[in-house]
Amino acid sequence: MSAFLDANVEPGSCVITDGWSAYPAATRDRYEHRGTSIAAAGLQAHEVLPAVHRVFSLVKRWVMGTMQGSVSPERVQAYFDEWAFRFNRRNSRSRGLLFHTLLR
C-alpha cells in the first residue's frame, strides 16, 4: 500500500479514506490521513465518500454495459486504463482529434 501511495500521491497530500485499519500505517509521516468509518458515521457510503462512490458506480455501469459484464482478470489494468482515458476526456472539445491525442 505504501508503495502505491508513493508512486501515485504527492507527499504532504491529504488522503481521505473509509477508515480501514491498514491506511494509517501506509500514510504514516508522508501524508495527512483523514479516515471516516462509514459504519460509525451512521450514513450511507455515497454520503460519506461521494466522489469515490460515484467513480465506482460509473466503472460498474461501464463494465456491465460496454464489457457486458465479462472481464478477463489478466486484462483488468487495460480495462481501467481505457475507462480512465474515456472518463478524463468526457468533456473534451476536441473529440475528433482523439487519434492525435493517442499518438501524443
How far is residue 10's CA from residue 26's CA, in Å, rounded to a whole number?
14
**pLDDT greater than 70 at residue 96:** no
How far is residue 53's CA from residue 58's CA, in Å, rounded to a whole number?
9
Give the model's pLDDT for residue 62.
87
Task: Report which DSSP code applies to 16.
Answer: E
Q: What does the pLDDT look like over 62-83, one tens digit per residue? A: 888 888 888 888 998 998 898 8
Give the model's pLDDT for residue 95.
63
Domain extents in the chain: 1-43, 49-104
Q: What does the pLDDT look like over 7-66, one tens digit per residue? A: 989 988 998 888 788 888 888 888 998 888 888 888 888 888 888 888 888 888 888 888
pTM of the predicted protein model? 0.54
